[in-house]
Amino acid sequence: MSAITAFEVQSFRNGDWRIETITDSKELAVHQAESIMMNPQVSKVRVVEEAFDQNSAEQKFRTVFIRNKNQAKAPEKPASAAPAAPEAAAAGTPQSTAPRARKKPGVVGLSLKFAAIVCAGIALIIALRYLGASP
């Protein structure tokens, strides 16, 4: 296995991007993003694909889905579009001065996310076994 791919669902509310969920399915991530868009506090959503190549230790990011409440539904942008461009254009500011949503995590960041997911899964399994064993 040479590549690990994850899809981050992010929402924009109160002037900050927040990670809502992480999944390995693009379809599920897009569905969750559209559901999150129903929240009145959320003004934008996006799905960012994160691919980590274990052989070269290279990490790549690209935005695969984006929606803005103030904008009519439009077809998805081509893969070559820069992730920061839609936010900058929507805000009416030049792209070079648009703030970045967050730092791109390196290997350590992905490892911590993976470890947190594994720990949560183990805790869930233990809790289910404990509750199931009660008389």
Higher pLDDT, 87 or 131: 131
Predicted local distance difference test score (pLDDT) of residue 117: 82
What pLDDT, in 10s, does the model give residues 55-107?
Answer: 888 888 999 999 998 765 544 554 444 444 444 444 443 443 444 455 555 65
What pLDDT does residue 84 have? 46
Q: Higher model confidence: residue 130 or residue 19?
A: 19
Q: Where are the domains of the chain?
A: 3-102, 105-135
Q: What is the DSSP string of the chain?
A: --EEEEEEEEEEETTEEEEEEEES-HHHHHHHHHHHTTSTT--EEEEEEEEEETTTTEEEEEEEEEEETTS---PPPPTTS-TTHHHHHHHTS-GGGSPPSSPPP-HHHHHHHHHHHHHHHHHHHHHHHHHHH--
Q: Please state the pTM of the whole predicted model.
A: 0.51
- pLDDT of 101 reads 52
What pLDDT, in 10s, does the model give residues 7-22?
999 999 888 999 999 9
The pLDDT assigned to 65 comes to 94
